Structure 1
C-alpha cells in the first residue's frame, strides 16, 4: 500500500509540480483478535515501511514530506473489555448464551462478522466443554456476538468479557431499540473509576417534547 501510494504521489509531484507537506497512509496497523495471533513487530514494521517511504522519496525527488500513519485501532482496541452478564442459557437446535448487551453496544460482530474473543470472567481457568452461540438482547436474529464459540460450562449470572472492544466499540454504539448506553469504567493500577454513567430511560426521554395538541 505504501509503495502504490508513493508511486501515485511521485507522479503527481513530477507531472503536476506539487510539493507535498505530508503523505498520509491512513490506518492498517493490525491487532491480534484471536488468541493464536501474534502482536505486530513494531520495530520491523517501522524499519520496512519507513525505509520504503524514504526510498520512494529519493526515486521521485520529492524532497522531505512527513510520513503520516493513523494507528488508532492499534492504540485502543485491546484497552477495552465489554463486560456482560449471562441472563439465559437456552438449549434449542443450537445452544444459546443470552447476555444483557447487544449489537447496539458492540456492533462489529453483527455488521462485519468480526471476531472478538470471549472469556468467562467468572471462571477463567475452566476447560472448554462446548460450542455455543453468544446472543445479544435485541430481538433480531442477527444480534450475535459469536457463533460456534468454544466456551466452558457457562451459567446464568456469569460475567463474560468480550475483548478488543476499544476500537469502534462505544463510538459505534447507539440507542437502537430504545436501549440506554452502557457505562464506562477506567481501570488504572487495579483502581476503578467510573468515567461515564450508565444511561437511563429518563435520559432517552430528556430531549423529547410533546406538541400541545397531543397533551
Structure 2
C-alpha cells in the first residue's frame, strides 16, 4: 500500500497522519472527517517554488483555491509565500477574511458578476483574468466609475488540450473559457484592451487541462503563445510582461497514476519559456503557474466509520460508510478512483474484497468498487486517501446530510479548522411557508 506524505502505520497498527493517530482523530472530531497533512502541503509549495528560486526568475506560484478553500488554507498559503487564484466572490471574500495579501490575488471565472468585479476592484486585488468581451465591458465601466486602474491578463485558448499522458492540438476551440487564439478573438481582445484608458494588460493566461502527467502540453502551449506574442508585438507594439501557463499538474490517486515531481513540471516550463524568449528576442516575462490539486490533493485523507454491510452471493460484498457523495462526489460524477485502508487494522491481511458504498439514497453513491481490505466490522475506521482536492470544496447537503469537519495535522498536533456542520446550520436560512389556506379549526 502506498502511503502519502507523513502517513504511516504506528505501533498500534493504526494509520497515523502528521504524527496523529487516525483513531484518535475520529474519536475526537467524529466522522466523516477530512484530515490534511500540513507538512505535505508545505513540501509541495516549496517544490513548485524551488526551480524559480534556483533560476533567479521572477515568478508567482498561485494556489488554485477551487481545490480547497477555507480561511485556514489561505493562511497556510500565505505562510508559504504563495499567490492565490480565486474564481468567485465567495472565494475572494474568504481570502480577505483570511488576511491574504490582496496584491497577490488573481480573479478567474467565465461569468464574473458586476458585484464580484466591484469587490475585486474596491479591494485592489493584484490581477483580474479577463475571460470574455462582456467582462471587458464591465471592467471598463467599473474602472471609470471607481477611478481605478485595472490590471488584467487575457485568458486565451491556445488550441492545446492535455489530460494525463494525452494531448491534442485542436481541442480547446469548443470551450466556455477564454479568447480563442486562432479565430481572431484573442487579437480583437488585445486590441480593445490596449485602447482602454483604465485597463492595463499585463499579459496572457492559459489552462490546458487537468491531472496532466507529462510536460509536452505545456511546452506546446508556450510555443503557440509566443508565436502569437511575436505577432502582437509587430501589430500592436504589445509586449507581455506576464505569462501564466496555468495548472493541471497531476497527482497519484492509485497505482495507475504516474505524475512527475513538481520540480520537473516547473523546470520544463522554464526551459520552454527561455527557448522562446531567445527565439523571438523577448525580455524574460514573469512566469505564473497555478497548482491546486497538486498542492492539496494527496495531502487530504477522509476518515469514515463503517456501518452496515450486504452480501450478494456470487456477485459482491457491500460495506457502507457514514458519508459518500455528500462529501466526495467525484466517484459519482466521473468515476474517480481512490485507494483506501482500514485505519484501525493497518497490520491485518487484506483478505476480503468489498465495495464501499455511501449512505446517500442513490444507487450511484459508491466510493470504491472492489477493493481488498481486512475483514471489516461495524465501527471500524476506513481511510480514503487523496481526497484533499474537490472533496470539501464540492461537498453538499444532499439528503440533508451535514458537511464534515476539517482538521489540519502537523508535528503530532491536530487543529480543527472547519467545524462540522450541524442540523441547525442546515435550516438556518430556511423560512416558514406562509400558507394561503385557511385553517379549518
Q: TM-score, normalised by structure 1?
A: 0.91
Counterpart in the other structure of 2:222: 6
Spell out the pairing of 1:102-141 with structure 2 (5 A cutoff). Answer: 102-141=324-363
Deviations 1:36-92 (A, max 9, x none): 756633343333331122111221233221222111111111222111000012101
Structure 2, unmatched stretches of 5+, are: 1-216
Greater share of helix residues, 1 or 2?
A: 2
Report the aligned-residue RMSD: 1.9
Provide closer, same or farther for how the CA distance between residues 15 and 75 of structure 1 changes in structure 2, counting only shifts above 3 A.
Answer: same
From 356, 362, 366, the equivalent of 1:144 is 366
Q: CA deviation at 1:167?
A: 0.8
Provide closer, same or farther for how the CA distance between residues 3 and 191 of structure 1 changes in structure 2, counting only shifts above 3 A.
Answer: closer
1:80 equivalent in alignment to 2:296: no
Structure 1: distance between partners of 2:339 and 2:245: 28
Deviations 1:133-170 (A, max 9, x none): 10000011111111111212111111000111111110
Provide closer, same or farther for how the CA distance between residues 211 and 139 of structure 1 changes in structure 2, counting only shifts above 3 A.
Answer: closer
Q: CA deviation at 1:28?
A: 2.2
Q: TM-score, normalised by structure 2?
A: 0.46
Q: Is the Cα–Cα contact under 8 Å of residues 2 and 53 in structure 1 kept in the other structure? A: no
Q: Is the Cα–Cα contact under 8 Å of residues 182 and 199 in structure 1 kept in the other structure? A: yes
Provide closer, same or farther for how the CA distance between residues 49 and 10 of structure 1 changes in structure 2, counting only shifts above 3 A.
Answer: closer
Q: Is the Cα–Cα contact under 8 Å of residues 13 and 62 in structure 1 kept in the other structure? A: no
Paired residues, number? 215
SS at match of 1:212: coil
Provide closer, same or farther for how the CA distance between residues 214 and 106 of structure 1 changes in structure 2, counting only shifts above 3 A.
Answer: farther
SS at match of 2:435: helix
Provide closer, same or farther for how the CA distance between residues 126 and 39 of structure 1 changes in structure 2, counting only shifts above 3 A.
Answer: farther
Structure 2: distance between partners of 1:51 and 1:109: 36
Q: CA deviation at 1:21?
A: 2.1
Structure 1, unmatched stretches of 5+, are: none
SS at match of 1:49: helix
From 7, 26, 49, the equivalent of 2:269 is 49
1:26 equivalent in alignment to 2:246: yes
Deviations 1:81-137 (A, max 9, x none): 111000012101310010000111011122121122111001001111122110000
Q: Is the Cα–Cα contact under 8 Å of residues 352 and 375 in structure 2 kept in the other structure? A: yes
Counterpart in the other structure of 2:231: 15
